[in-house]
Structure 1
Amino acid sequence: MTVPLALCMVWLIAANVIAMFPSRDYHWRAAYGLIAVGVPLLGWITWVAGPFVGMAILAAGASILRWPVVYFWRWLRRQAG
């Protein structure tokens, strides 16, 4: 297992643990931090392991951080039409 893949697994576990605890702001501050760490990590894993592994990790991260993805998708649709 490569270092970026191990770090991605640690990121996924940390995101799940963070989601288990209650939060007053519905985990938005944690989501911003996870996104800030996850984007460079996603670029690194894609560079090292290839685009298919990168897309799999992107799908795993998007399934955990689904509300930021939903709001981003809604924003894109509003901008287009």
Structure 2
Amino acid sequence: MSYSLSAACCWIILAAILAALPSRDNHWRRAYVLMVLGAPILVWVYLADGIWVGLLITLAVVSVFRWPVRYLLVWIKRQIAG
């Protein structure tokens, strides 16, 4: 396993641990931290392991960020609709 995939797996484990801990703000602060940490790792995976592995890791990231992705899609839809 490459270092980039190892880092991505560690990121997913960290996300699962942070999701299990109680939060007063519905985990938004933790989500922001995970986004800042996860973006370079995701780029690293794409560069080191190729597009197909990168797409699989992207699906894993989207499954972790279900609600932020949903809010982003609703916002984009509102911007397009006017």
TM more than 0.5: yes
Q: Provide the C-alpha distance between the structure 1 equivalents of 2:71 and 2:11, rounded to a whole number of angstroms.
A: 22
Unaligned runs of 5+ in 2: none
With normalisation by structure 2, the TM-score equals: 0.96
Q: How does 1:2-81 map to 2 (within 5 A)?
A: 2-81=2-81
Q: Provide the C-alpha distance between the structure 2 equivalents of 1:67 and 1:40, rounded to a whole number of angstroms.
A: 21
With normalisation by structure 1, the TM-score equals: 0.97
Structure 2 residue identity aligned to 1:57: I
CA drift at 1:65: 1.2
Q: CA-to-partner distance for each residue in 1:18-64, whole Å, 9 max, x for gaps?
A: 00011000000000000111111101100110011111001001101
Structure 1 runs, 4 residues or longer, greater than 3 Å off = none
For the aligned residue pairs, the C-alpha RMSD in angstroms reads 0.5
